[in-house]
C-alpha cells in the first residue's frame, strides 16, 4: 500500500527493459530512461498485441531505443531483443485515471497498482525475426534476378 500512496503523491512507476530502468509517464505517453532522461520510448510508437493489453517491440539494448525491423533487414541485428510490456492501464492505472480526469482509484480494482515492472524478454532467435530476415533475403535475391534479366 505504501507504493500506491507514493504514486498518489506523484512518484511515477518504473519498468525494467532488459536491464535498463525507465520511468513510466502515461501523461506524456512515454517511458523515460532513468539515467539518461533525454532518451525516451513513445508508447504510441509501440505495437500492441492481439489482445490490446500489451505492447511488443524490438529493443536495441546498446542504443536504448526501439529497433525497427524493416524490409531492408537481411542479417540478425546485434544487441536486440523482443520485449513485451503491459499497456498503459497495466503500467500505471493511477496515471491513466488522472489523464482522463477520473479518481485515482477508478481502475485499481481491475488493474492493481505496481510501482515496479519488468519487461518479458524473448531472445531474438525465438522472436520470428529469422523468418522475416529470410523472406527479405529471398525478396532481395529475386529483385536482383529480375534486374539482371532486364
Give residue-wise pLDDT tens across range 4-15.
999 999 999 999
Dihedral, CA atoms, 50, 53, 59, 63, nearest 10 degrees? 140
Q: Does residue 141 or residue 147 have the better pLDDT?
A: 141
Cell readout for 6 is 507514493
Predicted confidence at residue 119, as pLDDT, reads 98
Q: Does residue 53 or residue 132 have the better pLDDT?
A: 53
Check whether 147 has a pLDDT greater than 90.
no
φ, ψ dihedrals at 17, nearest 5°: -110, 100
Residue positions counted in the chain = 150
From 34, 39, 124, 30, select the one nearest 83 (Cα to Cα): 124
Full domain range(s) for residue 79: 2-149
Look up the pTM and report it: 0.85
- Round to whole Å and give the CA distance between 116 and 24: 10
- Round to whole Å and give the CA distance between 42 and 12: 16
What angle is formed at CA 44 by the lines to CA 41 and CA 48, rounded to 5 degrees?
Answer: 105
pLDDT-based confidence at residue 72 (cuts at 50, 70, 90):
confident
Radius of gyration in angstroms for the set of CA atoms belonging to the chain, rounded to a whole number: 19
Q: What is the mean pLDDT of residues 17-46?
A: 96
From 96, 135, 94, select the one nearest 10 (Cα to Cα): 94
From 132, 121, 90, 126, select the one nearest 108 (Cα to Cα): 90
Among 72-86, 103-117, 121-135, the range of highest mean pLDDT: 103-117
Number of structural domains the chain divides into? 1
Predicted confidence at residue 74, as pLDDT, reads 64
Residue 32, Ramachandran bin (φ over 0: left; ψ between -120 and 50: alpha; else beta): beta
Amino acid at each position: 500500500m505504501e507504493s500506491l500512496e507514493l504514486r498518489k503523491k506523484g512518484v511515477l512507476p518504473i519498468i525494467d527493459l532488459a536491464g535498463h530502468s525507465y520511468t513510466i509517464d502515461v501523461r506524456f505517453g512515454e517511458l523515460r530512461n532513468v539515467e539518461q532522461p533525454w532518451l525516451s520510448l513513445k508508447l504510441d510508437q509501440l505495437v500492441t498485441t492481439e489482445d490490446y493489453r500489451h505492447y511488443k517491440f524490438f529493443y536495441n539494448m546498446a542504443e536504448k531505443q526501439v529497433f525497427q525491423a524493416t524490409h531492408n533487414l537481411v542479417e540478425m541485428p546485434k544487441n536486440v531483443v523482443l520485449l513485451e510490456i503491459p499497456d498503459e492501464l497495466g503500467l500505471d492505472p493511477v496515471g491513466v485515471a488522472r489523464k482522463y480526469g477520473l479518481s485515482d482509484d477508478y481502475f485499481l480494482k481491475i488493474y492493481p497498482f505496481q510501482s515496479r515492472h519488468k519487461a518479458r524478454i524473448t531472445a531474438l532467435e525465438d522472436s520470428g525475426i529469422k523468418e522475416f530476415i529470410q523472406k527479405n533475403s529471398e525478396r532481395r535475391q529475386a529483385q536482383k534476378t529480375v534486374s539482371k534479366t532486364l
